[in-house]
Amino acid sequence: MRWVLYPITALLALITLGLATLAAMAFFAWPNLPALDTLTDYRPRVPLRVYTADGHLIGEFGEERRDVVRIADVPSTLKHAILAAEDERFYEHPGIDLVGLARAAIANLSTGGRGQGASTITMQVARNFFLSREKTYNRKLYEILLSLKIEQNLSKDQILELYINQIFLGQRAYGFSAAARAYYGKTLDQLNLPEAAMLAGLPKAPSAFNPIVNPARAAVRQQYVLRRMLEAGYISSTQYEEALAFATPKQSQRDIAAARKNQDIVVPGDHVAEMARQIAVEQFGEQAYELGIRIVTTVTRKDQEAAYAALRRGVLDYDRRHGYRGPEAFVDLPSGMVDAARLDEALSDHSDHGDLLAALVVKASPKEVVAYRRGQQITISGKGLAFVAPMLAEKAPQSRRIRPGAVVRLRNSGNDAWEIAQLPEVQAALVSIDSRTGAVRALVGGFDFNRNKFNHVTQALRQPGSSFKPFIYSAALEREFGPGNVLADEPLYYPAGVTGSKAWEPKNYDGRYAGPMTLRESLARSKNMVAIRLLEQITPEYARDYLTRFGFDGARNPAYLTLALGAGAATPWEMAAGYAVFANGGYRIEPYIVKEIYDGNGRLIARTDPPVAGQSAPRVIDARNAWLMDSMMRDVVQSGTATRARSLKRTDLAGKTGTTNDYVDAWFCGYHPELVAVAWVGHSQPRNLGRGETGGAAALPIWINYMASALEGVPETQLPRPNGLILVDNGLGTRQDFHYAEYAPPEPPAAPDWLQQMFAADTSPAMEAPSEAIPPGPPARLPPLPPPAQAPAPVVDRMPTPIGR
């Protein structure tokens, strides 16, 4: 039998030699193992997060999505799922599982590869924190040694907590808490058993078992984890059967839909988040992305969602008015081709944008279009084809016709009814602020942040058109004018010799002239001729200097007569700040968007303390001026160019429309005494919006739809009338209007007694007056201020002239 003993002796010798070699290697390697400070003083990379004032997530910045949780806060269902999937004997072994290692070694020797590793949770922690993922025996040795060292220094719960917070699980999610939010939009304690099993199956191969990328394969892995939980005694047979019935590929796809729906709950505020990110990086540098900084903004979820919805609705309505431009692209589809993989590949270059979903047409006729997206064929018919009907006709140009292979946009119009839409080319912006503090309540800087990251609220310097007129009229109130003063709405002409450049003949928007009218009526009807005459009398230089009280840059609003028509430049942000002065009674406030900043430990490190109207904010215009301008701009809403806003059925709304020459920019700037909102519509590169696309037609509907939500439940409010105003005749004999008491025209002297008696006796024959002259009655308007000594102000010809309205 000695021939049997020789191989056994040789094998034992080899094993002994191998163990001795390993022991020697371990002896020399142990002192060189890294210190465990990274584990004992765990400081994970936690992304920068931006929230609304009422606690809802707006944005997240950082390479790693992570939410650090304590082991005590991890539900037992998830713990058991993780242990069943990754390391059932975790609480029993010393860091390495010898049975598992032997099984893996035999499997690798038999196959000649290194496919199995038998890594315990402790070994995975060692690898994730200190080692690479290369599959070599040297790296495996260090992994084993590190695991033993970790087990000597940390408790089992500490190790499991590190694992739960550090492991990568796909979708940029690190740790199970971040993964629960990424895949299901839930916190850990909200996960059910099938969801916990799905997440527990991800560490083995996040890309392969990702339920968003590969729902069918993810469901198979999910079922495996459930079976292991049953075998380990973590769940009962009944729980297993119930969970297994839930865990199917189709259900996984429903899980994805639910997850995406929950992810969409994140407040749509990309421009807000980007503004907050810039502030964080400015203060903390690149470390801002990994310190766990939390920025709380001033916006509220309700207002932000209302602003987003109002802007998108307004832009899509505008887009529909101007017709369908045709499919975005065309893909060659072999006849009868319905292979999902090839269709998905054809759509891979076309991302969804909000509710405008990319789809590929597979069948098309004037009555019905069938489009493919993500394994589903959607049929569009009836009203859903109304917008694109011209491009379904046979006579439609081939380059714009909807046909098989066309890439189109689908939009769910409600009740699972689909329509074909398109990505708009036009841009828009909406910002609202608290008139007393300047806190931004909502901000949407463009139609879609992912297509155009330019923030049109803060960065777009555009001509404000007639929405700038209130500031000119406000300046006039300080130069002895009142709302009842009368100026002529008649044509004007300035020859080249007067302008210093070329002749200028401004016009009203509608080309019509109404003759003498009060300033109140001229603002309500947006009469350009009156605004120009008014600016002439108060002088452009005075008006330009006066504008700085509202925060406008005098250099961007030069002292030319076209200033009366808003030919300067301002951003929606600046316009909101300017209108807030009228809304709050005359105080200058500064808009701001970051309320508080917290560090990774939840400690408050910064807070904005803004000047408040009526308290610490500086007064920049007389309270009477603000009240009169408010009353005049309420007339704009009640009887002027913004009468659409009467649909809100409120009497405390004020504002002004604005449209620039050639319909390039459309504005509405308006407010409730507590809330200012500015809406703008235009192209990023200025060009014509289309005939009739005025501020009242394009921008005002956005403002109305936002205010309908923002003012829901807010009682009507009126600014209190300040002292120092008196009623005077407007000069046309139609009504009285308020005027500064010190600037009011004097009352005429009483008529002589004989004249009063004559009218009292109703003497019919005409009588000749005595030789003394009868004093004249009140003037039709205040006499104009003396003209300036210099020549008339030149007219700018470097910018398009706003057309008013």
Annotated active-site positions, please? Answer: 86, 466
Q: Is residue 163 within 8 Å of 121, Cβ to Cβ?
A: yes
Distance CA 346, CA 405 (A): 9
Alpha-carbon torsion, ordered 16, 21, 27, 32, to 10 deg: -150
Q: Which residues contact 374 (CB under 8 A, 6 or more apart)?
A: 344
Rounded to whole angstroms, the Cα distance separating 200 from 80 reads 9
Show Cβ contacts of residue 698 under 8 Å, excluding neighbours closer than 6 positions. 314, 318, 666, 681, 689
Rg (CA), the chain: 37
> Which pairs from 496-504 meet CB under 8 Å and 24+ separation?
498/791, 498/792, 498/794, 499/794, 499/795, 499/797, 500/794, 500/795, 501/794, 501/795, 501/797, 502/797, 504/561, 504/795, 504/797, 504/801
Q: How many CB atoms lie within 10 A of CB 139?
A: 14
Helices H / strands E in the chain, number of each: 24, 22
Q: Using alpha carbons, select from 527, 488, 535 the residue that is nearest to residue 511.
A: 527
Q: Using CA atoms, how far apart are residues 370 and 685, in angstroms rounded to an integer?
A: 36
**CB 301: neighbour CB atoms within 10 A?**
21
Beta-strand pair 173-174/65-66: parallel
Q: What is the DSSP letter of 458?
A: T
3-class secondary-structure state, position 176 = helix
- Classify residue 615 by its DSSP letter: T
Q: Is the dihedral of CA 622, 623, 626, 628 positive or negative?
A: negative
Question: CB of 738 within 8 A of CB of 725?
Answer: yes
Q: Which residues of 649-677 are buried (b: 16+ CB within 10 A; e: fewer)?
A: ebebbbbbbbbbbebbbbbbbbbbbbbbb
- Measured between alpha carbons, how far is 704 from 648 in angstroms, rounded to an integer? 7
